[in-house]
Copies of this chain bind each other. A is one copy, B any other.
Amino acid sequence: MKIDKQFITEEAKKLLANDKVIQQAYEEVKASICSPIWPTDSDIFTINNTEKNCNGVVPIKELCYTMLEEDYNWFREKPLDVLKLEKKKGGPIDVYKEFTEGNYVRRVGLEFETGNISSAHRSMNKLLLGLKYNELDLSMILMPIKDLAYYLTDRVTNFEELEPYFEITEGQPFIFIGFNAEAYDPNVSLIPKGKDGMSKRSIKKWKDKVENK
Contact = CB atoms under 8 A, between A and B. Distances in A.
Interface residues of A, number: 24
26 contacts: A82-B164, A83-B164, A87-B164, A89-B160, A89-B161, A90-B161, A90-B164, A115-B118, A116-B116, A116-B118, A117-B122, A118-B118, A118-B121, A118-B122, A121-B121, A121-B122, A121-B124, A122-B165, A124-B125, A125-B125, A125-B165, A128-B168, A129-B165, A129-B167, A129-B168, A168-B168
Interface of A: 82-83, 87, 89-90, 115-119, 121-122, 124-126, 128-129, 160-161, 163-165, 167-168
A127 to B, nearest CB: 11
Closest 3 CB pairs of A and B: A121-B121, A118-B118, A118-B119
B118 A163 contact: no
> How many copies of this chain are found per oligomer?
2
A160 B117 CA distance: 22
A70 to B, nearest CB: 29
Q: Name the residue in A82, A90, A118 with the highest tally of chain B Cβ atoms < 10 Å from its Cβ.
A: A118
Contacts of A164: 82-83, 87, 89-90, 129
DSSP class of A's interface residues: helix, strand, loop or mixed? helix
A87 B125 CA distance: 21
Contacts of A125: 121, 124-125, 165, 168
Contacts of A83: 164
A163 B121 contact: no
A37 to B, nearest CB: 29
A125 B165 CA distance: 7
Nearest to A83: B164
A134 to B, nearest CB: 14
Contacts of A167: 129
Q: Name the residue in A115, A119, A121 with the highest tally of chain B Cβ atoms < 10 Å from its Cβ.
A: A121
A128 B124 CA distance: 14
Q: Name the residue in A89, A126, A128, A165 with the highest tally of chain B Cβ atoms < 10 Å from its Cβ.
A: A165
